[in-house]
Chains A and B, each alone.
Chain A
């Protein structure tokens, strides 16, 4: 639609350069445009056709956006084992640049975390230039802009919801102050990385490999030889190393999709109305001297207000600097061509678009919510299945520091780390736990501790990792083959990676049904040696639930059923 709108508008002669010489005509055509419900501002990438430096700024902005998105995607892809025990790049840099993460984690943990200092750069840039992060850098913002090519707002919402993002910001930061960390639910980067890790990336890999596999398995050889060559290229550059599977793939998928569906209610809906990071940067940008000139819409033209993708011009025609993402679109569409961005803005007097009562309500919620979450009985229920990744802080400190960014789950080479849902209440949602039956913690691997941006997982060297206790394994003699069936097995013992094996066995003599006397090895766990990596549970050949299960430190597995006696 945007394209046809552009064509139609061009047909009417709404060329920025032409508008410059004939403002009256520009106004006429803009009125005509409004009548036809066309969208001249177009989408990013649809670079303005005009001449001169001003429209070109928009093209540059689009270029910067695409570069940042490319960087984001590349870092996402290499968040994986690459043949080295250490991750060579700062793959978590996006979260370390995120001032919302910086503020939330600092408040909740009451510690200064050196790793998060890069976020001061974003604060600094915002102080000088305003919300450029939103308009030029944020990968979610760029994806939303790109989606504008396919998703077109049905109708602009009548009500203004700008205040919502400030409310969310207040609730999130107050909760963080009361050590309940909710920012992961709303932080745009967490939302994006989680959605991509849990659903988009597995989906992409599934579809692509599924197609190639089908041809490989069913197609003729001459064809599969060709497709396998293409497949190799895909595997080298685009696809993850292997198919991953995640809990909450559906939920995360729809959370992410919702951000794009909201575009139907207006462009950059998420950024304008919901994003707490946008709210935070908006408040910082109030001091920025880099402003759009003129600071208000012209009396005879309404285009600034109607066409601004950030809806940064209020009903009185004033530009709200805290809403402006400096996308430079208005340079291109201004019919008079008089807009510029300059370092001469005086401090704006107008306050952010949020009422006193709304601030008060958010404040009250920010105080009440942490307490309500804390008093949820679910937080008191024993949790033997909540096995935290290696290097994890003590549970409460971990919950305060973890921003649910999903990096640890992305990097886990055995797809062993999975997100919690509401098993432990609302607060730990999306935090990582080890699910050994799906994947075990690789003995020599420390990647998750390296990618954690907030030190919720403390960095461990190999020796520390070997000694770090995630949980403890327990045998269920009712299911374990050498006990229950009196037949040999001890696959668990073979795989136990601890150098003095934590799984030992007694050799007993049994007489089988043919009266043969044979030796039988019956395993048991040395609790003082077990680190809870879960490889025993993972490889246990018993069908269904394993006969040896890992439980979190200080607890015992709870699903062995009644009547079980533990060794």
Chain B
């Protein structure tokens, strides 16, 4: 072996090691973690969104319960569509800003807000009102950034039934605290889109391919993405023509926010706002079957606040 050959070999071998994509291993302990036997569901009704968010977070034991000093916090709203606030296709910006504020008050070093959008991302971030609202807070610790395609990493979903591997957004996987902030709305494939379905916004790949067995795959995604708590925005809900909507006559004002650490229970309760039963939403059933949470509302403690 001469020097040239040696250098070539070294380069090739080290290149091979460097190019292997990291595979995040989600331990079985995390996957099958036992949930509260009787989960809490908190709902707040009112017009002052920031106050409602505060009340709900306080009810869950305060943000300090979830956020430690110097933590990186992900607040994951639904910013999927190029629609305005009134059209109800995206999470209300005030919910997002209120959560970001609370996280910073609890000592978070960084608050990341992102979503993989369906329409063009700049238009979605802008017209949903979420980016302008966060920019107006003018805090360097808040990053409302577009999805960076380089950050998708393949993840093996060990207990997945319909999906065993998919790529996930690295920031969502490595966050110290992950707060799921979906908007409650009609969805033609899955019935409703709530907390569990919101995980679709942190995955890569061609998402349309999940639709052949959508509910089961949503539940499988939630084996990987396990939020510290879910806060459903039901200030206004889209009753028809979801998930994209667009028509104001399809939107109903509910002035409600729902929060809880059990993602299935929160979804189950949110379903009732639409006049449906928890079992009418397939992904809730699948989530329950995976042991992600409780869907029987009679086995949940429900507290409703009037703010």
Contact = CB atoms under 8 A, between A and B. Distances in A.
Interface of A: 81, 83, 213, 216-218, 241, 413-414, 442-445, 481, 485, 487-491, 493-501, 505, 521, 539-541
Most chain A CB inside 10 Å of its own CB: which residue of B18, B19, B122, B187: B122
B189 A488 contact: yes
Contacts of A444: 82, 123, 127
Q: Which of B120, B206, B212, B247 has the most CB of A within 10 A?
A: B120
B208 A540 contact: yes
A505 B211 CA distance: 15
A488 B187 CA distance: 14
B19 A499 contact: no
B241 interface: yes
B214 A81 contact: no
Name the residue in B118, B208, B209, B213 with the highest tally of chain A Cβ atoms < 10 Å from its Cβ.
B208
A313 B247 CA distance: 69
Nearest to B122: A81
Given A216-B150, A442-B123, A489-B189, 19 more contacts: A81-B122, A83-B122, A218-B19, A413-B123, A414-B120, A442-B120, A443-B119, A444-B123, A490-B211, A494-B189, A495-B118, A495-B244, A496-B244, A500-B241, A501-B241, A505-B188, A521-B189, A541-B206, A541-B211
A217 B189 contact: no
Contacts of B15: 218
B195 interface: no
B243 interface: yes
Contacts of A217: 150
Contacts of B127: 444
Contact of B247 (A414, A500, A521): A500
B188 to A, nearest CB: 5
Contacts of B122: 81, 83, 241, 413
Interface in B199-222: 206, 208-209, 211-214
B19 A442 contact: no
B98 to A, nearest CB: 23
B246 interface: yes
A494 B244 contact: yes
A481 B209 CA distance: 11
Contacts of B118: 495, 539
Contacts of B242: 494
Interface in B230-270: 241-244, 246-247
Contacts of A414: 120
B171 to A, nearest CB: 14
B68 interface: no
Chain A to chain B: the 7 pairs with minimum beta-carbon distance, closest first: A541-B208, A491-B208, A499-B247, A499-B246, A541-B209, A487-B212, A218-B18
B211 A491 contact: yes
B82 A443 contact: yes
Interface string B163-199: 0000000000000000000000001110000000000
Contacts of B159: none
A413 B244 contact: no
Contacts of B208: 489, 491, 539-541
Interface string B271-290: 00000000000000000000
A213 B150 contact: yes
Nearest to B187: A494
A16 to B, nearest CB: 54
A256 to B, nearest CB: 28
Contacts, number: 77
A501 B247 CA distance: 10
B212 A481 contact: yes
Interface residues of B, number: 28
B123 A81 contact: yes
Highest count of chain A CB atoms <10 Å: which of B127, B211, B213, B243? B211
Contacts of A501: 241
A189 B126 CA distance: 33
17 contacts: A81-B123, A83-B122, A217-B150, A218-B19, A442-B119, A442-B123, A444-B82, A485-B212, A488-B189, A489-B211, A490-B189, A491-B189, A495-B244, A497-B119, A499-B247, A541-B209, A541-B211
A81 B19 contact: no
A399 B34 CA distance: 67
B283 to A, nearest CB: 13
| Max count, chain A CB within 10 A of own CB: residue among B19, B212, B214, B247 | B212
Pick the most buried of A487, A494, A497, A501: most chain B CB atoms within 10 A of its CB: A494
Nearest to A492: B208
Contacts of B119: 442-443, 497
Given A488-B214, A490-B188, A445 B244 contact: no
A413 B212 contact: no
Contacts of B150: 213, 216-217
Nearest to B151: A216
Interface string B62-88: 000000000000000000001000000
A389 to B, nearest CB: 16
A444 B84 CA distance: 11
Nearest to B243: A494
B188 A521 contact: yes
A442 B150 CA distance: 25
Nearest to B209: A541
A497 B82 CA distance: 9
A488 B211 contact: yes
Contacts of B241: 499-501
Nearest to A523: B188
Contacts of A498: 246
A275 to B, nearest CB: 37
Given A217-B150, A541-B206, A541-B209, A445 B243 contact: no
Contacts of A497: 119, 244, 246
Contacts of B247: 499-500
Nearest to B135: A83
A505 B213 CA distance: 18
A445 B212 contact: no
Contact of B126 (A83, A487, A499, A500): A83
Contacts of A216: 150
Contacts of A485: 212
Contacts of B188: 490, 493-494, 505, 521
Nearest to B84: A444
Nearest to A542: B208
A217 to B, nearest CB: 6
Contacts of A541: 206, 208-209, 211-212
A500 B118 CA distance: 19
A493 B212 CA distance: 14
A487 B162 CA distance: 14
A111 B211 CA distance: 51
Contacts of A505: 188
B100 to A, nearest CB: 20
Contacts of B206: 541
Q: Which one of B118, B242, B246 has the greatest number of beta carbons of chain A within 10 Å?
A: B246
A414 B120 CA distance: 7
B197 to A, nearest CB: 11
A145 to B, nearest CB: 36
B121 to A, nearest CB: 9
Nearest to A503: B188
A213 B188 CA distance: 38
A485 B211 CA distance: 13
Nearest to A540: B208
B62 to A, nearest CB: 34
A443 B81 CA distance: 10
A218 B16 CA distance: 10
A218 B208 CA distance: 30
B31 to A, nearest CB: 26
A216 B241 CA distance: 41
Contacts of A83: 122, 126
